[in-house]
Amino acid sequence: NAGVMQNPRHLVRRRGQEARLRCSPMKGHSHVYWYRQLPEEGLKFMVYLQKENIIDESGMPKERFSAEFPKEGPSILRIQQVVRGDSAAYFCASSPTSGPTYEQYFGPGTRLTVT
């Protein structure tokens, strides 16, 4: 059973370009979470999605960031018009269900560098 897959692993964008980060959850998992890790910091929650639904986006910046988890295909985190401050590691996690006893399984992350 493959784990959570993220691609690309490394992404370099110039200021003003768009970044698209992909996350394929573990087989059988329908809940996806995105986190951002700035240098020397812990992970910060961004958004929680189920298939075709955004459940909690309280951690998403109000502008330029969006996320989706379509019925078919991976979850996508999109950052429009990237700025230097968006440089970070972005982690995706998935779980089979929600609730207090679930475990989130993390992907290897996408490291975004904005030049």
Partner 1 sequence: AQSVTQPDIHITVSEGASLELRCNYSYGATPYLFWYVQSPGQGLQLLLKYFSGDTLVQGIKGFEAEFKRSQSSFNLRKPSVHWSDAAEYFCAVLGDKLIFGTGTRLQVFP
What residues between 25 and 44 interact with partner 1 by CB under 8 A? 33, 35, 40-44
CB of 97 to partner 1, least distance (A): 14
**Contact pick of 34, 94, 109, 114 for partner 1 (by CB under 8 A):** 109
Contact between 56 and partner 1 per CB under 8 A: yes
Contact between 48 and partner 1 per CB under 8 A: yes
Contacts of 51 (CB under 8 A, 6+ apart): 30, 69, 70, 71
Each residue of 36-61: b (16+ CB within 10 Å) or e?
A: beeeeeebeebbbbeeeeeeebeebe
Contact between 11 and partner 1 per CB under 8 A: no
Contact between 18 and partner 1 per CB under 8 A: no
Instruction: Kindly tell me the sign of the dihedral angle through the C-alpha atoms of 34, 4, 77, 36.
Output: positive
Number of residues that bind partner 1 (CB under 8 A): 24
Binding-residue pattern over the window 82 to 101 for partner 1, x denoting contact by CB under 8 A = ---------x-x------xx
- The set of long-range contacts for 62-67, using a CB threshold of 8 Å and a minimum separation of 24, is 67/34
In 3D space, the residue among 86, 88, 84, 77 whose CA is nearest the CA of residue 37 turns out to be: 88
Residues making contact with partner 1 (CB under 8 A)? 4, 33, 35, 40-45, 48, 56, 58-59, 91, 93, 100-101, 103-109
